[in-house]
Structure 1
Amino acid sequence: MNTLKTLTRNFHSCGHECAKVVPKNLKGRGKSSQEWLTRQLSDPFVEKAKMMNYRCRSAFKLVEINEKHGILKPGFTVIDCGASPGSWCQVAAAETNSNKAQETKPVGLVIGIDLLQIYPIPGVHLLGNADFMKDETQQNVKSILCERKVDCVLSDMAPNATGIRNLDQENITKLSYSVLRFAVLTSSVDASLLVKLWNNGDVPQLEKDMLRFYKTVKMIKPVASRSESAEVFMLAKGFLGLKS
């Protein structure tokens, strides 16, 4: 993975230096489409994702977080909530060796869940067209685990934005609490939890509640997360376990 780390560092620098690209042939496109296309063409992580065969640029958010905090290791069991199109599962499969690419390393287990269908990924159990918020889906995940405890729960889930700030924040916080509850019930001692939030609401309360179950909780804004986005990630490490 040394090559991956080197490329990540290089593109971190490029992200601050690359000039804004103005796309051509925008006739007939709406303003929002033009802005999105301009962002994509100017984004070094988009090109890097193509180079490294990741399904989307969000892979580098998890790559950076893992490099700094070591939440994915060979042999780990990982649940990825909101997995489509699958870039986080790709990273998790490589880091946990669930794809069996490293013969001498322990083989992990990665399970990805999303409301959308997900194209197959080597070494990943995928539950597409599945709502993580439903008990049926969570029971399906537990059946795949087969009593195996989870080492890391990831959530890149976010609700469809309504434009109403309080409602949007309430919806994403609800998702986060659902993931927290699942993690608490399925994780091994010292496991990690990573959830996406929008940093414009009752984040301190969620942090306080996470600290009931984890040794440390911190807010993270990866370099690959666009600066204009309210997106942040809350990382909880060192699951304390549950007393019977």
Structure 2
Amino acid sequence: MKGPPPGGRGVTTRLRTAKGRSTASQKWLERQLNDPYVRAAQARGYRSRAAFKLVEIDDKARLLKPGARVVDLGAAPGGWTQVALERIGPAGKVVALDLLAMDPVPGAITLQGDFQDPAAEQAVLAALAGQADLVLSDMAPNTTGHAATDHLRIMALAELALDFALKVLAPGGGFVAKVFQGGSEKGLLEQLKQRFAAVRHVKPPASRKDSSELYVVATGFRPA
């Protein structure tokens, strides 16, 4: 799939303000109802609009190859897992790992645990029956509304995801992680450039324009 999802243009829905509903929740509901990616996700059976972010990243970077072994960190509710399964085909494997319980995704191996726990790392490798070709992370911490704090928190999470990826990736593998635009990506990028042949940023069209999120995409993993 390329470009915006079908149904991108349509009638704008406005909600009558319900008693007891805050202005913020009112705006959120209206945005959801008028979001073409939300409608397209529902039409295609994806569990979240975020699925289209991975679709668009992969259309550009060609990461999800048939038969690949993929790890989806912080996988709930499972939108990225669904896309990965579609693109790697029946010969591949997807392991979805989340700290919280999530509904199984048919075709994927769903694990519950903390990816920082060595036991979770071993469980992932056992489920894959080998090393991973790609590690995905769409994880983000709960935001505080303070841009500098939120940026530091997501960068710390991305660095932890990278640490996990370095332990489980096969030579030549890839890594994708969500980050926020800001001033402290330098340390993460330096680590990535030391261990991967190519590193770039991608902001997929499905990422809302008013969001500071973007994705770091690294390919060609070089083991130490």
Q: State which of 73, 87, 103 in structure 1 corresponds to 2:65.
A: 73
Q: How does 1:134-153 map to 2 (within 5 A)?
A: 134-146=117-129, 148-153=130-135
Identity of aligned residues (%): 38
Partners of 2:4 and 2:143 in 1: how far apart? 33
* Residue-by-residue CA offset, 1:188-213 (whole Å, 9 max, x unaligned): 22211000011124112211210000
Task: Report 1:1-244 matches (<5 A).
Answer: 5=1, 8-9=2-3, 11=5, 15=8, 17-18=9-10, 20-97=12-89, 100=90, 107-128=91-112, 130-146=113-129, 148-242=130-224
Residue 33 of structure 1: SS of its match in structure 2?
helix
Q: Which moved more, 1:71-80 or 1:183-192?
A: 183-192
How many angstroms does 1:10 deviate by?
5.0
One-letter amino acid matched to 1:162: T
Shift of 1:164: 3.3
Deviation at 1:19, TM superposition (A): 5.8
Q: C-alpha distance in 1, partners of 2:11/2:219?
A: 37
Contiguous gaps of at least 5 residues in structure 2: none
**8 Å Cα contact 1:79-1:112 kept in structure 2:** yes
TM-score normalised by L of structure 2 = 0.93
Listed as ranges, the gaps of 5+ residues in structure 1 are: 101-106
Deviations 1:93-139 (A, max 9, x none): 11111xx3xxxxxx1110011122111111111113x2222333223
Distance 1:144 1:11, change over 3 A: closer
CA drift at 1:25: 5.0
* 8 Å contact kept, 2:115–2:164: no
TM-score, structure 1 as length reference: 0.85
Q: Distance in 2 between matches of 1:43 and 1:53?
A: 16
Aligned residues: 224
User: For residues 22 and 200 of structure 1, what CA distance do their matches in structure 2 show?
Assistant: 34
| Aligned alpha-carbon RMSD (Å) | 1.8
Cα distance, 1:18 vs. partner?
4.9
SS in 2 for 1:123: coil
C-alpha contact 1:23 1:41 (8 A) present in aligned 2: no
